[in-house]
Amino acid sequence: MRRRYKMDWGLKNRLSRIIKSDGHTVMLAVDHGYFLGPLSGLEVPAKTITPLIPYADSLMLTRGILRTSIHRDTDIPIVLRVSGGNSIVGKELSNEGITVSVEEAIRLNVSAMALSIYVGGEYEHQTLINLSKLVNEGEKYGIPVLAVTAVGKEMSRGSRYLSLSSRIAAELGAHFVKTYYCEGFEKIVESCPVPIVIAGGKKIPEQDALELAYNAIHRGACGVDMGRNIFQSEHPLAMIQAVRKIVHENASVDEAFELFKSLKRKRM
């Protein structure tokens, strides 16, 4: 039987804003620029993100994009990316540090803080200590921590690696974990005592991305934290609604894809 530890009220309350009462969540990941710069679909963040906000349960992004591109009256839980210091052209992707103080996260009224760990990477130790320190701060102020199991440029994304990485994140105190969907995903979920959301990964055809979301949810993920497969779609609004149908309405892939096609026809 899975036991969850009893969280402090504030911490639990913040997490409940992200993971909804049905136990599921559609997080919109738009934090990629912290190491990828102006990637396709996010060249002008506000233009891409604003229309999607009504369909997302939370926004995962950096403080720079939050302050410059999200209206301050927006009522959506923020999952703030607080690790970085690397870039796609740099020598070693795993060389990340904590980039935002917990005071700043509180000032920005965030619902959670997110940080990447690079198990097996050159800077593995540093990123795991980053996570541990962030959890210490998060526990102090009631802010949940999302650990992202980054895979670097060449690292494998097989279930043994992702299960090792997700479990280490939970052992160090992460309150929820973001990892990738893969063959044997249920084993990753089984051995990770905190909720798991999946990243979408590189852009794939919409029907395949919906299948990915479906498989993840049906094998125990509590939700998705999807970016490129939503905002790089030619029809991002249709895509996020189709993803929601799977995550929150228990729809089949066919039902969700039908919704996508009908919204696409309406140019939504």
Binding region for ligand R5P (CB under 6 A): 29, 31-32, 60, 148, 199-201, 225-229
For ligand R5P, give the closer residue by CB, 140 or 172: 172
The Cα 229–Cα 121 span in angstroms is 26
For ligand R5P, give the closer residue by CB, 29 or 217: 29
Alpha carbons within 13 A on the beta-carbon side of 250: 2
For ligand R5P, give the closer residue by CB, 7 or 53: 53
What is the helix (H) or strand (E) element at residue 180, kind and residue range? Answer: strand 176-180
CB of 32 to ligand R5P, least distance (A): 5
CB of 128 to ligand R5P, least distance (A): 17
CA distances from 165 to 115, 162, 202 (A): 13, 5, 20
The Cα 266–Cα 3 span in angstroms is 45
For ligand R5P, give the closer residue by CB, 116 or 163: 116
Establish whether 178 is a catalytic residue. yes
Q: Which two tokens stand for residue 153?
A: 């440029």
Report phi then psi at 163, rounded to 5: -75, -40
Largest Cα–Cα separation, the chain: 50
The Cα 27–Cα 31 span in angstroms is 12
80: Cβ contacts below 8 Å, ≥ 6 apart: 60, 61, 62, 63, 66, 100, 105, 108, 110, 112, 113, 114
CB of 120 to ligand R5P, least distance (A): 16
218: Cβ contacts below 8 Å, ≥ 6 apart: none
CB of 264 to ligand R5P, least distance (A): 20
CB of 114 to ligand R5P, least distance (A): 7
Side chain identity, residue 110 = V
Catalytic residue from among 12, 140, 153, 178? 178
For ligand R5P, give the closer residue by CB, 144 or 227: 227
Catalytic annotation, residues? 178
